[in-house]
C-alpha cells in the first residue's frame, strides 16, 4: 500500500510588497486618522465607506503610467466572467458611487473616506502594494470656492495632527495654466506622448534639478546606470519657457527665460499666456482661489501659487495642489533634504462623466497616510513608547474570580488592564511579561494580601529607572512597590500612572 504523501508545511512569510502592522503602529494610525476625520467633519464632510472591490470597467484607465485598465491592479474574473479588481485609489470608487446614487445624494456631495488601496506594481524600499489613503472630495459644483476650501482644510488638517505652521506649505497650480504654457511652447493638445514626457519631466525637477529636466525636455537623459530616458525633443525656446515655468516658486520670483543668444528675459505669467485662452482661464481660476484663502486668513506662508506643481494622474482638469513639508530630514546617506509631499489633489471634472454621459464637476485631495505618519515620527510627534496595560498577576489560581473582579474595577475606571493568563507557577515570568507589554504597573496579591485586605502595586517605570541609575540609598528612599488597602487600589494606581507622565 502506497504511503500517503505529506503536504509540505506552508512557509510563514509576508507576500512580497506587503507588510504587517503591529500594536503601536495601528494605534498611531488610528489616532491620526481620528484627528483628520475631526477636521473633515468640522468642514461639513460626511464619511463614506465604499467597497474595496470594483469592476475593472468602473476603475477605468486612470491608473498612473499604464495604458490598459487592468494593468497595475489586482484583478480576477468572477463566476459570471466579469472582471473585478481591488481599488487602487479612493477617487475612482467615489465616481461610481456618485453616479449610482446621485438621485439620493445632496448636491454638492461632500464626502471623506479612509482605507487601504492596492496596486500591483513592482515593490521597492518604502514602496508597498497595499497602503492607506485618506481622501476628501466635493462632487457637483464648479465653484473655485470648493477648491479653496480643500486647500484651507488641508492646512488645518496638517496642523491638527502635529505639523506646525512654518513646517508646511500648500502649493496650488492649474492644469489649464500648464496646458496654456504647452500650447504656447508649440506642443499640440492631441500629442499625448510628448505632453506626457513634459509633465513627468516637470514633476522630477526637485530630484533631477534644472539640467536633468532640460535633458528630458530635449534629446533625452542618461542616468548613472547608463539607462536612457526618451526626451520630448523640444527646441531651445520651448525648453527655456517650460523650464522657467517649472522652477519652484517661479510665480513669486518671476519667470526668467533664456533666449537663443543666452540673454535672460523676465516675463510675467500673463505675458506668457497672452495668446492662450485656456491659460488665461486657468490663471483667473488661480487668482480666485488665492483670493478666497487670503480672505479666510491663510497667508502665503501656508497656501501659495506654485507653477511647478504637476499631478501625474490623467483626470485632473483644473486646479491642482500639493501639501509639501518643508523641514529637513537626513536621507539614507546622511545628507539633509526636505521631507517633501504628503498630500495632493485637484479638480477632475470628467471622471463621473464616464458613467453618466454628463459633465459633473468634482475636486478633492488625498493624504498619503504612511508618508504623513513618517513625517510625524521625524518631528518627534509620534514614536514614543506606547504604554501597555496594567497586569494583574496571579499568585493563587483558586482566587481567579477575585483577580477578575480586580481587573474589572480597573477597566470600569478607564484604566487599561489585564489578568495574566499564562502559567502562573513562575512569578518572575509574569513580571517579564509585564515588562514586554510595556506595562506601567503590576498588581500583586497572594493569599496573605487577600486575608489582610491589601494589594501590592509595583511601579514598573520607576523600578526600571531605579535599577538603571539609583544608588542603594536612593532605592530605599523611592520604593517602586507599595502596599495599599484593597479599597484604594483604583485611586492609588491612577495617581501612580499620572505621576509617570
Backbone angle region of 352, left / alpha / beta, with phi > 0 → left and psi within -120 to 50 → alpha: alpha
Residues 406, 370 within the same domain: no
| 408-456: pLDDT as tens digits | 999 999 999 999 999 988 999 999 999 999 999 999 999 999 999 999 9
Tell me whether strands 83-86 and 336-347 are parallel, antiparallel or unpaired: unpaired
The Cα–Cα gap between 289 and 438 comes to: 49
Residues 30, 153 within the same domain: yes
Cα maximum dimension of the chain: 98
Say which CATH number the domain at 324 has.
3.30.930.10
Omega before 108 cis (within 30°)? yes
Residue 95 has pLDDT above 90, yes or no: yes
> Between 77 and 199, whose confidence is greater?
77
Residues 480, 460 within the same domain: yes
Is 108 a member of any domain? Answer: yes
Query: What's residue 204's pLDDT?
Result: 79
Is 7 a member of any domain? Answer: no
Residue 156 has pLDDT above 60, yes or no: yes
- Mark which of 345, 378, 411 sits at the end of a domain: 378
pTM above 0.85, yes or no: no
Residues 243, 282 within the same domain: yes
Is 149 a member of any domain? Answer: yes
Is 10 a member of any domain? Answer: no
pLDDT band at 392, cuts 50/70/90?
A: very high
- At residue 326, φ and ψ (nearest 5 deg) are -100, -5
Tally of structural domains, the chain: 2
- Mark which of 357, 378, 399 sits at the end of a domain: 378
Residues 361, 220 within the same domain: yes
Average pLDDT over residues 128-133: 92
- Residues with Cβ within 8 Å of 245's Cβ and at least 6 positions away in sequence, in order, are 178, 181, 202, 255, 272, 307, 308
| 428-437: pLDDT as tens digits | 999 999 999 9
The Cβ of residue 108 has, within 10 Å, a number of other Cβ atoms equal to 17
Residues 122, 193 within the same domain: yes
> Which residues in 233-261 are b (16+ Cβ under 10 Å) and which e?
ebeeebbbbbbbbbbeebbeeebebbeee
Q: Based on the number of CB atoms within 10 Å of its own CB, is 496 exposed (0-12), middle (13-18) or buried (19 or more)?
A: buried
The Cβ of residue 440 has, within 10 Å, a number of other Cβ atoms equal to 22
Residue 29 has pLDDT above 90, yes or no: yes
The Cα–Cα gap between 202 and 89 comes to: 23
Percent of the chain with pLDDT over 90: 50
pLDDT band at 69, cuts 50/70/90?
A: very low
CB 58 within 8 A of CB 93: yes
Q: How many CA atoms lie within 13 A of 368 on its CB side?
A: 18
Residues 411, 263 within the same domain: no
Query: What's residue 256's pLDDT?
Result: 56
Rounded CA Rg of the chain: 29
DSSP state of 492: H
Query: What's residue 473's pLDDT?
Result: 56
- Mark which of 378, 408, 426 sits at the end of a domain: 378
pLDDT band at 65, cuts 50/70/90?
A: very low
Query: What's residue 311's pLDDT?
Result: 66
Query: What's residue 62's pLDDT?
Result: 47
Query: Which span out of 21-30, 99-108, 171-180 was modeled with the highest average pLDDT?
Result: 99-108
The parent domain of residue 443 ranges over: 390-499
Is 17 a member of any domain? Answer: no
Residues 305, 441 within the same domain: no
Residues 183, 78 within the same domain: yes
Residues 483, 427 within the same domain: yes
> Which residues in 362-399 are b (16+ Cβ under 10 Å) and which e?
bbbbbbbbbbbbbbbebbebbeeeeebbbbbbbbeeeb
Query: What's residue 90's pLDDT?
Result: 94
- Cell numbers at 301, concatenated: 506662508
Say which CATH number the domain at 439 has.
3.40.50.800
Residues 231, 332 within the same domain: yes
| 231-288: pLDDT as tens digits | 888 888 788 877 777 776 655 555 555 555 555 555 567 777 888 888 899 989 999 9
CA–CA–CA angle 146, 147, 152 (5° rounding): 95
Residues 414, 368 within the same domain: no
Is 5 a member of any domain? Answer: no
Is 466 a member of any domain? Answer: yes
Is 109 a member of any domain? Answer: yes
pLDDT band at 145, cuts 50/70/90?
A: very high
Query: What's residue 94's pLDDT?
Result: 95
Q: How many CA atoms lie within 13 A of 21 on its CB side?
A: 13
Amino acid at each position: 500500500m502506497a504511503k500517503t504523501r505529506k503536504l509540505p508545511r506552508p512557509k510563514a512569510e509576508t507576500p512580497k510588497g506587503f507588510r504587517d502592522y503591529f500594536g503601536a503602529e495601528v494605534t498611531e494610525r488610528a489616532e491620526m486618522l481620528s484627528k483628520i476625520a475631526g477636521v473633515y467633519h468640522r468642514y461639513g464632510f460626511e464619511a463614506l465607506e465604499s467597497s474595496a472591490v470594483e469592476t475593472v470597467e468602473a476603475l477605468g484607465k486612470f491608473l498612473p503610467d499604464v495604458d490598459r485598465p487592468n494593468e497595475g491592479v489586482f484583478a480576477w474574473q468572477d463566476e459570471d466572467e466579469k472582471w473585478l479588481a481591488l481599488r487602487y485609489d479612493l477617487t475612482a470608487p467615489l465616481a461610481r458611487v456618485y453616479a449610482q446614487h446621485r438621485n439620493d445624494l445632496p448636491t454638492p456631495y461632500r464626502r471623506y473616506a479612509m482605507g487601504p488601496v492596492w496596486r500591483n506594481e513592482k515593490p521597492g524600499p518604502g514602496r508597498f502594494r497595499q497602503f492607506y489613503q485618506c481622501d476628501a472630495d466635493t462632487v457637483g459644483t464648479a465653484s473655485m470656492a470648493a477648491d479653496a476650501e480643500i486647500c484651507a482644510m488641508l492646512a488645518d488638517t496638517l496642523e491638527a495632527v502635529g505639523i506646525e505652521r512654518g513646517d508646511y506649505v500648500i502649493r496650488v497650480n492649474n492644469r489649464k495654466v500648464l496646458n496654456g504654457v504647452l500650447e504656447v511652447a508649440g506642443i499640440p493638445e492631441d500629442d499625448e506622448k510628448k505632453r506626457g514626457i513634459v509633465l513627468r519631466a516637470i514633476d522630477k525637477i526637485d530630484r533631477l534639478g534644472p539640467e536633468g529636466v532640460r535633458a528630458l525636455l530635449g534629446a533625452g537623459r542618461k542616468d548613472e546606470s547608463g539607462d536612457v530616458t526618451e526626451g520630448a525633443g523640444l527646441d531651445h525656446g520651448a525648453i527655456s519657457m517650460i523650464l522657467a515655468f517649472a522652477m519652484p516658486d517661479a510665480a513669486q520670483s518671476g519667470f526668467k527665460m533664456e533666449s537663443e543668444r543666452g540673454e535672460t528675459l523676465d516675463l510675467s505669467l500673463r505675458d506668457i499666456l497672452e495668446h492662450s485662452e485656456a491659460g488665461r482661464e486657468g490663471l483667473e481660476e488661480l487668482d480666485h482661489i488665492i483670493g478666497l484663502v487670503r480672505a479666510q486668513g491663510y497667508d502665503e506662508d501656508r497656501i501659495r501659487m506654485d507653477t511647478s506643481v504637476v499631478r501625474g494622474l490623467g483626470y485632473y482638469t483644473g486646479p491642482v495642489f500639493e501639501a509639501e513639508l518643508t523641514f529637513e530630514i537626513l536621507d539614507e546617506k546622511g545628507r539633509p533634504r526636505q521631507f517633501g509631499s504628503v498630500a495632493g489633489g485637484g479638480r477632475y471634472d470628467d471622471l463621473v462623466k464616464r458613467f453618466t454621459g454628463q459633465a459633473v464637476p468634482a475636486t478633492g485631495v488625498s493624504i498619503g497616510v504612511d508618508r504623513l505618519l513618517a513625517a510625524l515620527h521625524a518631528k518627534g510627534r509620534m514614536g514614543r513608547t506606547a504604554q501597555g496595560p496594567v497586569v494583574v498577576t496571579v499568585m493563587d489560581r483558586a482566587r481567579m474570580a477575585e483577580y477578575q473582579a480586580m481587573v474589572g474595577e480597573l477597566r470600569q475606571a478607564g484604566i487599561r488592564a489585564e489578568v495574566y493568563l499564562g502559567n502562573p507557577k513562575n512569578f518572575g515570568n509574569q513580571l517579564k511579561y509585564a515588562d514586554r507589554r510595556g506595562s506601567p504597573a503590576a498588581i500583586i496579591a497572594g493569599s496573605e494580601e487577600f486575608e489582610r485586605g491589601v494589594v501590592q502595586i509595583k511601579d514598573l517605570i520607576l523600578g526600571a529607572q531605579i535599577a538603571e541609575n539609583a544608588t542603594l540609598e536612593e532605592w530605599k528612599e523611592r520604593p517602586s512597590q507599595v502596599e495599599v488597602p484593597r479599597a484604594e487600589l483604583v485611586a492609588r494606581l491612577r495617581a501612580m500612572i499620572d505621576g509617570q507622565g
